[in-house]
Chain A
Amino acid sequence: MIEVRNLTKRYGDLVAIRDISFTAATGQILGFLGPNGAGKTTTMRIITGFMPASSGTVKVAGYDIFDDSYEVRKRIGYLPENPPLYGDMTVVSYLRFVGRIRGIAKAELGDSVDRVLHKCGLTGVTGRVVGHLSKGFRQRVGLAQALIHNPSVLVLDEPTIGLDPRQIIDIRTLIKELAGERTVILSTHILPEVSQLCEKLVIINEGHIVVEDTLENLTREMSLEQVFLTYITRDTATLRGTPAEEATA
């Protein structure tokens, strides 16, 4: 469903991500894990077509993000780290606007809005102004926005950050429900979240992939915390040990 091949992104001299490849199958929830600044957001921004890679390809549902960007964007729902909300709109008018620019036909717009309002538990705040909502509700509006056009691929960048424990549980349950036929890429650095939700794991450190495997295989002998720390520490040590070789790679 999602096929990332040899993705590299440079900002001038800074290499944000280097030669990243991984795949996510249909219906899979893929956990995208890594320390802050490892390149998770950059990778997701490339997958969603927000910005181009310096080299490498991404295929979503068989469409290339460079050649068929339009087709890919139609099929992706994206929740960036900061939910992209217009603070001066009401929840319903915001969702209607997003629905329209996501290409939902006028006749179906009302139903689509109702569907995501229910799904994301927003029925009590439909007429409220988005800017006045609490962090948790805003996050849910952000999620509703990503779901409104019923996308086959969901890209969620740290969806539970800054929420209270109950809201976190709500959002996790929701993501689990959503998976089914959808492919979900979930970026996070909250490890319990990964063990609860994800079937497959990609760990990224300093812009490259350290490991890609199923959760089951990785946690067979040690806990997820240990796995994460071991891989990240080992990788950072290798990078520090042979900086010249890595820089030219």
Chain B
Amino acid sequence: MRNALSIAGKELRSYFVSPIAYVVLTGFLLLGGWFFFNLLARFNFLLSIYSAMRNPEAQMRLNLNEFVIAPLLHNLSVVLVILVPVITMRSFAEEKRSGTYELLLTSPLSISEIVIGKFLGCFAFLLVMLGLTAVYPLILLLYGNPELGIIAAGYLGLLLLATAFVTVGLLTSSFTENQIIASVSCLVVLLLFYVIAWPADTAGPLLGAVLKYLSLTEHFSEMVKGVIDTKDLVYFLSVIVLALFLTHRSVESVRWR
């Protein structure tokens, strides 16, 4: 475990000594801020219209969770589909290209320690990234009264979703020594699982259910609505564990090929 933490620490540090961390964080917060501003502006606009129309019923239906937080989290999840591959692309590919892979594999480390270390490094960066977006709900909490429980469930969903993204990114990075191939293939896989449920309604009951179950978005949407269901938790954890296991296998294959 100490070894895994050493690798995680090295990973996290390498993000912040290179421009990657700052570019990714700035881009993420810039887009997040733009989404938040526009959602809030639309919310205010609707509120003023409904009160001008003296329509208390419609006004009651407007709430911050549904009209600001939920779409914000959905938008952020799309941005993560694009940014996570950038975060994870170097993890293994860079080591292979620069020859430091030899250092890692000839050190007395187990492959699990290497994979877990890499994972924890990316995960810590993810926490920083998502942590910084907490400023948006905090503003809402200061000036309005959104439901805290729903926000928490939504954020848990976003964290699980992004963690699953990270593990897929680690897997594709472990296949290649080319960072572009690593990031593009990760992006394609993530996008595919994002939209895999599109034909669900026309695909027949069984296939439709399978596609819906596979879709990252379906499970995420449930959590954004504030529903924490074991089914969704199990789904995300399975994706994370499976991708980490395959990454382990992929790294191991270099040693025993």
Chain A interfacial positions (CB closer than 8 Å to B): 45, 48-52, 70, 73-74, 76, 78, 80, 82-89, 93, 97-98, 100-103, 145
Cross-chain contact B108 with A70 (CB below 8 angstroms)? yes
CA distance A84 to B106 in the complex (A): 11
Which residues of chain A are within 8 angstroms of B14 by Cβ–Cβ distance? 86, 88-89
Cross-chain contact A80 with B255 (CB below 8 angstroms)? no
Cross-chain contact B99 with A80 (CB below 8 angstroms)? yes
Cross-chain contact A97 with B98 (CB below 8 angstroms)? no
Beta-carbon nearest neighbor of A87 in chain B: B98
User: Smallest distance from the beta carbon of A173 to chain B beta carbons, Å?
Assistant: 25
Which residues of chain A are within 8 angstroms of B145 by Cβ–Cβ distance? none
Cross-chain contact A86 with B107 (CB below 8 angstroms)? no
Known: A52-B256, A85-B98, A86-B14. A74 touches B106 (CB 8 A): no
Tell me which residues from 49 to 77 in chain B have a Cβ below 8 Å from any Cβ of chain A. Answer: none
* Given A49-B255, A83-B99, A97-B10, 17 additional A-B pairs, CB 8 A: A50-B102, A51-B254, A51-B255, A51-B256, A52-B256, A70-B108, A70-B110, A73-B108, A78-B102, A84-B101, A84-B102, A88-B17, A89-B10, A89-B13, A101-B3, A101-B7, A101-B104
CA distance A87 to B90 in the complex (A): 13
B142 interfacial by beta-carbon distance below 8 Å: no
Return the contact of B109 from the options A80, A84, A101 (Cβ within 8 A). A101
Return the contact of B255 from the options A50, A102, A145 (Cβ within 8 A). A50
Tell me which residues from 221 to 257 in chain B have a Cβ below 8 Å from any Cβ of chain A. Answer: 254-257
Some 9 contacts from A to B, beta carbons below 8 A apart, are: A50-B106, A51-B256, A82-B98, A84-B99, A84-B101, A87-B98, A89-B13, A98-B107, A101-B107
CA distance A143 to B13 in the complex (A): 24
CA distance A100 to B6 in the complex (A): 7
Known: A51-B254, A88-B17, A88-B18. A101 touches B6 (CB 8 A): yes
Known: A85-B100, A88-B18, A97-B10. A76 touches B255 (CB 8 A): no
Tell me which residues from 92 to 120 in chain B have a Cβ below 8 Å from any Cβ of chain A. Answer: 98-110
Beta-carbon nearest neighbor of A82 in chain B: B99
Chain B interfacial positions (CB closer than 8 Å to A): 2-3, 6-7, 10, 13-14, 17-18, 98-110, 254-257
Which residues of chain B are within 8 angstroms of A88 by Cβ–Cβ distance? 14, 17-18
Which residues of chain B are within 8 angstroms of A98 by Cβ–Cβ distance? 103, 107
Cross-chain contact B10 with A86 (CB below 8 angstroms)? yes
Beta-carbon nearest neighbor of B7 in chain A: A101
Cross-chain contact A145 with B6 (CB below 8 angstroms)? no
The 10 A-B pairs of least Cβ separation, nearest first, read: A84-B103, A100-B6, A82-B99, A84-B100, A74-B108, A73-B108, A48-B106, A101-B107, A80-B102, A88-B17
User: Smallest distance from the beta carbon of A157 to chain B beta carbons, Å?
Assistant: 10
Which residues of chain A are within 8 angstroms of B256 by Cβ–Cβ distance? 51-52
Cross-chain contact B2 with A145 (CB below 8 angstroms)? no
Q: Which residue of B17, B102, B109 has the most chain A CB atoms within 10 A of its CB atom?
A: B102
Which residues of chain A are within 8 angstroms of B100 by Cβ–Cβ distance? 84-86
Which residues of chain A are within 8 angstroms of B10 by Cβ–Cβ distance? 86, 89, 97
Known: A51-B257, A101-B3, A101-B7. A145 touches B99 (CB 8 A): no
Cross-chain contact B106 with A100 (CB below 8 angstroms)? no
CA distance A83 to B101 in the complex (A): 11
Q: Which residue of B99, B103, B255 has the most chain A CB atoms within 10 A of its CB atom?
A: B103
CA distance A84 to B3 in the complex (A): 18
Known: A88-B18, A101-B7. A76 touches B104 (CB 8 A): no
